Every structure is written in C-alpha cells, then in structure tokens.
Amino acid sequence: MTNSRSVFQPSTQSELVQFVADNATNAKRHLLPIGGGTACRDANSDDVIEVRLDGLNRVIDYPARDMTITVEAGIRIAELNRILATENQRLPIDIPQADQATLGGVIATNWSGLRRFGCGTMRDYVIGISAIDATGRRFSAGGRVVKNVAGYDLCKLLVGSNGELAIITQVTLKLRPLPETSALVGLGFDSPRQIESLLARLMSSATRPMAIEVLNPHAKLNSLAEAQSKRFLLCIGYEGAEREVRWQVETLIAEAQPFEPRFSKSLIGSDAEPVWNGLTDFVLIGESPAARSPLTFKASLPPSRTIEFMQLATEAGISAKAHAGNGVVLGHLPGSVTTAIQAEAVLKSLCELSSSCSGGLSVLRCPHDWPIAPQAGGITAGREWSERIRQQLDPLGLFRR
Ligand SMILES: Cc1cc2nc3c(=O)[nH]c(=O)nc-3n(C[C@H](O)[C@H](O)[C@H](O)COP(=O)(O)OP(=O)(O)OC[C@H]3O[C@@H](n4cnc5c(N)ncnc54)[C@H](O)[C@@H]3O)c2cc1C
C-alpha cells in the first residue's frame, strides 16, 4: 500500500481505517495527514508516511434547505465553494490557495481570514465530524442537524488539532447564504493612533462590519497602492443587500471624517473582489519573488493591544496585517534578516508584548535549518488535559508533532 516515498493515498474511508490499523499493529511508523499541503513544510521527511487525503473528496449529503452539507474532508475548498454557490450558499471562511487547500486542512489548522470578525471561525461551522485515531478506530461526534449537541466538544477539539490527534475523514458543516453584494472601504492614516481612536469609535458604529483589517506601511496591497503610500491603512468590509451595503459605506465614511483620514476609497461589488482576495492571500506574500521574506508569523493578542503590536512591528521593518477586531496579526520579516539569531532578535519584543497579555506568537514558515521554536509565549494552561486526550487517541505517539 505504500510506495517508495512512503505516501499512502486512500480513495475510501474504509481503506484508510484498514491502513492505519495495520500500521498501528505492525510497522508503527509515524503518520502525517496531508490535505492540500499548503501549510505542510516537512512533507518530504523520510521517517513518516504521508497520508494524502485529497482522494476522499465526495459529497455525502447536501440538504440545501437545511443549510448543511456533509462532505469528505479531502474536498478542496474551491470545489466546496463551487458546489455551495449553486444553492446560493457558502462557508464564510477566507482561505488562501482555495484551489489547493482542503476542508480537513482548514479544520486541522483552524485557519480563519478577514471575515472572522463578522462570521466567526471553523468552530462555528463544524456541527458533525468523523475521524480515525492512530490505532485505526473510527469515531464520530455531532450530527447532520444544526440543533445537535451530543459530542459537540469533540468537534471543537479536532478544530485546530493540527493532525496530531486524529485523521479527519468526514465533516458536516452549517452554511450561510451568499450575500447579494460586498464592499470595502480603505482609509489611509499617517499615525496608527488615529486608527486606534477610530477603532474605538467603530464599537458604537451604526454599521455592522464583516471585516476590520489594518495594514502597516510595509504591507503592500497592489489593489490599494495609491491609498497606502507609506501610510497605515484601515480596511473595513461589509456584506449584505445592495442598498444596505451602500448605506453602511456612506455612514462609515461620515463616521470616520472626524478622525481625518488622509485618503479614503470605497469599492463595491466586483470592484472590491481584488482587495478581498489580496487581504486573504496576505500570508503568501512572504514567498512572492517581489517581497521574499525569511519568516512568516502569526500572533494573537487582545484586540485592544493590536495597534501597539503593529507599531512595534513597523519599527522592526516587518510587513504586517491585523484582523484588528480579533487581535490576530500576520507578519513577514524583512529580507534583510538572514540568520535565525537576527530573526529571534527582531521577534523578541513582539513575543514579550504578546505573552505579557496572555497572547502568543507562532512561526508559520521559516528555513528548515533555523532552530526557532514554532511557539513563543502563548497559553500553557490545559496542556496536561490535552496530553491525556493524546494518550487516548494516539497511545503509541504515531501522529507527527
Ligand atoms: C503553520 C501554517 C502555515 C501556513 N502557511 C501557509 C502558506 O504558506 N500558504 C498558504 O496558502 N496558506 C498557509 N497557511 C494557511 C493554510 O492554507 C490553511 O490552513 C489551509 O486551510 C490548509 O489546508 P491544506 O489542505 O493545504 O492543509 P495541509 O497543509 O495539507 O495541512 C495542514 C495541517 O493540517 C493537518 N491536516 C490536513 N488534513 C487533515 C485531515 N484530514 N485530518 C487531520 N489533519 C489534517 C496536517 O497534518 C497539517 O498539520 C498556513 C497555516 C498554518 C497553520
């Protein structure tokens, strides 16, 4: 069943169960679940079996009137979106490289994008899940209806489990209707403090933003280049019925006037698409030839400390973008950083700031030979508890950590 590169690619869930059970009894080799491989960096390592899940991509049930769908976890996000669009529905999570990334990978990484502010994360959409533990046991939680609470915690446990607890094979999702239109307002400011004051004002805004993004002057977004020109940029997104969206855009621009933006631009419908896409794909910028960066990180901290973090990142020459309403920041170190020691020095104050407010910083990408801890700071509570769950699902320690 394995080829010389130790790749196993099942085409049915039963085949996968059989393979994992055999491995646990006989070879006991390490297993690395892989969906689209967009976030996997060590897939070529020799001592693991890559379990490629993109062959498990069937739609099991799509009762569109119930606004739920049950699919196998290897389905590509672009394909899932295409199927949902036929019923005017969607999963409102922004995923980069959607034609490659799989649903299982999104759930395992708990990746979320700019609509997180208005629409939440995968934890809000997974209502049922089936998975296989390291011994080959199949287990399920939740169900196919929205009002189902049995096993709910196991659904949440596997969201963000990074392929370290079980292989996710099948998922039931709660869906949302596709909005009639969307809009983005870009506001340029000389000082991040002006943005901080406007963010506070937004808490009592008459509008209901879907996305609140802040880019620092090093973070270039082609579609809004003229608005940026060495400024901090605040991007606010809206979705809904056409009239309602237009009203929200006008209201926001009026509410922002007292904060004296140096630039303001609003884009509606298809004009806004390239900006939504640019903001979604920001994590890829570090790998583009034009802005190659040695290291990409993600930090989490209370939303009230985000602007302070963005200021520190700017001083360090980092290209950074924040989901300012949620306190999540993505950053690319500048190309002038060429060694792990330099990278650690640049990240030091950012790690200190995030851990001082119970947040954390994790490295998403850096050269393989840099001895940098993937997690710096972060919340340690609950580790003992999660170790106990690991013992139950993976007693032989076969899933790669
Ligand atoms: C560390 C990290 C780095 C990232 N880097 C990039 C990037 O460079 N470019 C980009 O476009 N996006 C990146 N992302 C975002 C990523 O695209 C999304 O998280 C995406 O949804 C991953 O989907 P995938 O199918 O490609 O997952 P993969 O890359 O195949 O896997 C990601 C993780 O999920 C696990 N996994 C995958 N499928 C399953 C399954 N069925 N059951 C259990 N575990 C599973 C893998 O073991 C791995 O730990 C990154 C995310 C993270 C957390």
Please tell me the residue having the least CA distance from ligand 1 atom 15.
39
Rounded distance from Cα 3 to ligand 1 centre (Å): 23
CB 220 within 8 A of CB 238: no
Question: Which of 8, 17, 38 maximizes ligand 1 atoms within 8 Å of its Cβ, making it the mutation to test the pocket?
Answer: 38
Instruction: Determine what percent of the chain is predicted with pLDDT higher than 90.
Output: 76
Quick one: average pLDDT of 164-179?
A: 96
Furthest CA-CA distance within the chain: 69
Q: What DSSP string runs through 78-96?
A: HHHHHHHHTTTEE-----T
The whole-number pLDDT of residue 151 equals: 44
Q: Which of 295, 263, 135, 130 is nearest to 194 (CA)?
A: 263
pLDDT at 371 over 90: no
Q: Which helix (H) or strand (E) holds 363?
A: strand 360-365
Rounded distance from Cα 252 to ligand 1 centre (Å): 35
The whole-number pLDDT of residue 40 equals: 80
Measure the CA–CA gap between 47 and 44, rounded to whole angstroms. Answer: 9
The neighbouring-strand residues paired with 131 are 139, 168
3 or 263: whose pLDDT is higher?
263
CB 133 within 8 A of CB 139: yes
The atom number, within ligand 1, closest to the CA of 400 reads: 47
The atom number, within ligand 1, closest to the CA of 286 reads: 8
Tell me the per-residue pLDDT of 174-200, one tens digit each, with 9 for 90 and over.
999 999 999 999 999 999 999 999 999
Give residue ranges with CB within 6 A of ligand 1: 32-40, 53, 73, 95-97, 100-102, 104-106, 108-109, 111, 162-163, 167-168, 283-284, 364-365
Q: What count of residues does the chain have?
A: 401
353's CB contacts (< 8 A; 6+ apart) are: 301, 305, 308, 309, 312
Question: Which of 34, 81, 362 maximizes ligand 1 atoms within 8 Å of its Cβ, making it the mutation to test the pocket?
Answer: 34
Tell me the per-residue pLDDT of 258-293, one tens digit each, with 9 for 90 and over.
999 998 999 999 999 999 999 999 998 877 777 789
Please tell me the residue having the least CA distance from ligand 1 atom 28.
37
Interstrand relation of 211-215 and 296-300 (parallel, antiparallel or unpaired)? unpaired
Count how many Cα atoms sit within 13 Å of the Cα of residue 11 in the half-sphere of its side chain.
Answer: 1
The atom number, within ligand 1, closest to the CA of 284 reads: 9
pLDDT band at 4 (very low <50, low <70, confident <90, very high): very low
Tell me the per-residue pLDDT of 208-226, one tens digit each, with 9 for 90 and over.
999 999 999 999 776 666 6
Rounded distance from Cα 173 to ligand 1 centre (Å): 18
Please tell me the residue having the least CA distance from ligand 1 atom 50.
39
Residue type, 38: T
All domains in the chain, ordered by first residue: 1-178 (3.30.465.10), 181-280 (3.30.70.2190), 293-377 (3.30.70)
Measure the CA–CA gap between 111 and 19, rounded to whole angstroms. Answer: 28
Please tell me the residue having the least CA distance from ligand 1 atom 51.
39
Rounded distance from Cα 39 to ligand 1 centre (Å): 4
Rounded distance from Cα 335 to ligand 1 centre (Å): 24
Measure the CA–CA gap between 218 and 231, rounded to whole angstroms. Answer: 9
Count how many Cα atoms sit within 13 Å of the Cα of residue 122 in the half-sphere of its side chain.
Answer: 25
pLDDT at 126 over 80: yes
Tell me the per-residue pLDDT of 323-363, one tens digit each, with 9 for 90 and over.
999 999 999 999 999 999 999 999 999 999 999 998 999 99
Rounded distance from Cα 107 to ligand 1 centre (Å): 9
Tell me the per-residue pLDDT of 56-102, one tens digit each, with 9 for 90 and over.
999 999 999 999 999 999 999 999 999 999 999 999 999 999 999 99
Rounded distance from Cα 195 to ligand 1 centre (Å): 32
How many Å from the N-terminal Cα to the C-terminal Cα in the chain? 24
Rounded distance from Cα 41 to ligand 1 centre (Å): 9
The whole-number pLDDT of residue 370 equals: 86
